[in-house]
Each structure stands twice: as C-alpha cells, then as structure tokens.
Chains A and B, each alone.
Chain A
Amino acid sequence: MKQTPRDKAILERMAPGVLCAEGFLGDDPRDLSEIIAADTAAVEAAGLTHEQIARSLAAAMKTAMAELGRPAAISEHVAAVWREGMGRIPSPWTGDGVFPKGELGLTDTRTGRTLTLTPLSVHLIAAHGFYQGRGSRYRLEPHDIIAMFELT
C-alpha cells in the first residue's frame, strides 16, 4: 500500500531508538496498515470495539496506578502491578500528546497468562486500533485481552 508522508513520519517514530529503545513494531514482517487491519478484524469478530478494549485496560491501569507499585486486584482472577517510571513518552502519531512512563503487569491467576502494557499502549489501542507489532515488548494480542477480561 502506498505510504503518505504522514504514514512515513509515523513509521520513522516507531523505529527502534527514536521514542523508545526497542521501537513499536518488533520483528513483525507486516506493514502498519496490515497489523491494524488484522487486529481490527479480530476485535470485530468478537463483537467488540477498540474503545471497549481500551476502556477495560484503562480501568485496570487506574486501579493499579493508585497503589503506587503495591499489587492490586482488578477482579477475582486478574492481578495487577504498576511499575513506576520517571518521565514521559510521546505517541508515534504526532499531535497525540505525551504519556507517563512506567508499565502495568496483568496476570490471569487462573491460567498464569500475563500482559504487559503502558499508558501509551492504551491510548494507541483507543485512538488508532494499534496493538503494536509482534515481537515488540508491549505487543498485545486482542484475544488475550478479551479472554483475560471476559469481554464477550
């Protein structure tokens, strides 16, 4: 697919070492629009929207952040720990603003499955349907989020 200058600028900011050490695309061979389209299809197939998924993650993050690093219970089977970080990171999409550093660890206590995300991750899902490229530190599989939060 043809890239607009804006797409090119976004991809440049997603590269390793520009906004964060590892970048946002991991080793995913797909281009940005393919990644977003595939994740959008998975979310729609579950009868959900990106906003609904982001809302669940944002609520968990708010609860965990208030504990300043102390483990928090999000639900009967979801535990969370907020790991604080100093400073802020901008979005690869210019104009989105800046987001606090630090990361949230979520664990499904039934399965042991874990998810790791940041405040920027939640924004990227809500605003752009972008769950990051496979192989990146903060890649989130939509079906993992849906299963952990029992969204269907």
Chain B
Amino acid sequence: MVQPLQPWLIVLLAAGISCAVTTVLAALLIVAERYMVNYGTCTIDVNDGARQLEIDGGDTLLGSLKTEGIFIPSACGGRGTCSYCKVKVLEGGGALLPTEEPLLTAEEIADDLRVSCQIKVRNDLKILIPEELFAVRQYRGVVERISDLTYDIKELRIRLIEPDTLTFVGGQYIQLEAPAYGDNPEPVYRAYSMSNPPSDDQAVETIVRLVPGGICTTWVFQHLSEGDEVTLNGPYGDFRLSDSNREMIWIAGGSGMSPFWSMIRYMAEADIERKTTYFFGAVQRRDLFLLDELTELARKLPWFEFIPALSAPGEHDAWTGQTGLITEIVDRHISDGRELEGYLCGSAGMIEAAHDLLRTKGLTDDRVFYDKFN
C-alpha cells in the first residue's frame, strides 16, 4: 500500500522544485540575453554631439566606448569593484541597477552619474564625459628598463611601439595593464603617474611602490622583465602646474615622487622660473631616492629648493637633514601660505594630513591640487 507523503516532505519538495525552476529560468534568461537577443544598432551621443557612435547593442557602456577608442578610467577591468568608470548618462540609461547603487553616492546619483561597466547598451544613449578623455589612446610598449630605486620601489621605463608617441603634461597618469598571471584570471588596470618629462614623448616612465598583495605591483615586482611587451592607456588626469605664477609648495612621499620628477624637469627644460619648494618625506634613509639628482637640480636652479626629511632616521643613517613628519617640516618652513599654491602626491593619509595643514596656513582649497585616483 502506498503511504501518503508527510506534510514536511511536501513542503520540502515544493521548495526544491521552486528553487530548481527559478534557477533554470534565470540561466535561460542569461543564455538568451547572451546569444539570442539582438538589440540592433544603438547610437551613443557623447558630449552633446561631439561624437556620435553607432554600435551593436548588448555590450556594456564601458566596453562599447572602449571598442570605439574612448577609454574611461577603470582599475578593475569592468568587474564593478573599483567604481572609477563613472560617466554622466543624460538619457537612455534605464533604472539604477543594484550593482551600481553601492558604488555611487547620493550626490552622484542625483547628478546622473552611472557605473559604465554595469549598464548595458540596449537603446540609444546620451552621455557626458570629460573632454580630456577624447585624447586617451591605448598603447603597446616594450619594457626598456626596470631599476630599483629602493627596496620596495621600482622605476619602469616603457618604450612606446604603437602608437609610438604619447603627448602629455607633467603630472598626468597612465593606466598600466597587468595581464592574467598566476591566480589572477583577468587583466586589471592600475593608475601610475608618469615621471618622465613631456619632451620624452616616445616613452613612459613611472615609479611603482610594492603594495603587499597588490595584483599589479606583484606582477611588476615578480613577473615583469625587461624586453616584455605591455599595454597601457592614457594620458589621464588634470593634476598639473596651474597657469598662474604663484610660488608653489610640493609635498610628496614614496612613489608620490613620480609627477614631481616629471614636472621639475619640464620646468627646467622650459625655463619656467617659478619659485618652488619641494618637501619629500620618508621614514628612514633607505626609503629616500633620487636625492643626488634633485639636489643637483636645486643647486642649478635658483628658484627651486629641495627639502628631504626623515620621520624616524636610524642611527646607521647618519642623517643630518630635516627630521620629523613631512607635515611638521612644512609647518616649520611656511608661516603664511595665502599667496601660495600647494601640490600633493602620496597616500590618502598623507594627502589628507598635508591638505589640513595647508588650510591652517591660509591656502584655500582651490589652490591645493592633488590626483583624485588615490
């Protein structure tokens, strides 16, 4: 005789069947969207008609723009984790997606910003991007030199192959692609300021500090060799010398040296005699680099002063220079900053501390410059 099913078993079976049906339907939708749905040709209007892109719908906005040679900064390679690839979508973006919401502030949402790697192009779109992104190109290059600046900082020199020239302004940055390697399944991009002067436009030089566990810096330190071919895109960023002739204070630490090493050589080449004091902070002597080169420039250029400082010199360092946190050194040297401009590059903590100090010296926020990619 057949026994009737227990009520708890019926509930369990119903729940199981419901889950299975939902999973199958979701999988079918994904497959259908991937292989069967044809969105046809869609138009992306960029910057109110500055570019009109006719593209096959279905790809992400980030991917579609990249295919058309418009590169939006994106550190994670479109995985929706870095939140760098925001663009303003004026029309056609549809409702905000759950995957975008955590990456946008309330102000950004109100300002029509969207995460371009998350939204798909399914219809015509109108978007706004910074004008400077029209100048961004993808480059292939070959690693010409990797040199150790300190125990955890390397300098890379990449000779450009195609295109073979990159026009940039001192202070701008590129995104270097770390390809899939080891356990890293997909390429990722990381931003690095260029350290060579703009006149050296057939190469890219940059300064890279090892980030423990960092995907790109681990690749640079452990896998990249001279002679290897690499991919990068750029230039990005509006960190650069202002058009004014105000006296400047530069504050940096670690790989934050990079843009200033470019800018000072540009100023020397172009005879821009603008009074500049460069404060460079490190912990011990082993963390300092390019000391001889910058000291020599300071000797040659009467308008340039270089002040390296150590916050905790060891006895073996035999350090006779400035000692203290870089903010303490700046504090001792600057009494009234109301007529100065401040330029900062380094970790988020250093930038915040330096910016706070400069405010107390009378520098208004519109005269303090730093890169937002950090």
Contacts and interface: CB of A to CB of B under 8 A. Distances in A.
B212 A103 contact: yes
A87 B216 CA distance: 12
Chain A interface mostly helix, strand, loop or mixed? Answer: loop
The residue among A71, A94, A138 with the most chain B CB atoms within 10 A of its own CB is: A94
A137 interface: yes
Interface residues of B, number: 44
Interface stretch (A10-18, A40-48, A142-150): A10-18
Nearest to A16: B183
Given A102-B347, A137-B212, A70 B325 contact: yes
The residue among B214, B281, B325 with the most chain A CB atoms within 10 A of its own CB is: B214
Contacts of B374: 86-88
Nearest to A13: B81
Given A84-B350, A95-B102, A68 B311 contact: yes
B211 A69 contact: no
A101 interface: yes
Contacts of A71: 312
Interface residues of A, number: 36
Contacts of B218: 21
Interface string B329-348: 00000000000000000111
B82 interface: yes
The residue among A17, A65, A82 with the most chain B CB atoms within 10 A of its own CB is: A17
Interface of B: 75, 79-83, 99, 101-102, 182-186, 190-191, 209, 211-215, 218, 253-256, 281-283, 287, 311-312, 325-327, 346-350, 353, 373-374
Interface of A: 13, 15-23, 65-71, 82-88, 90, 94-98, 100-103, 137-138
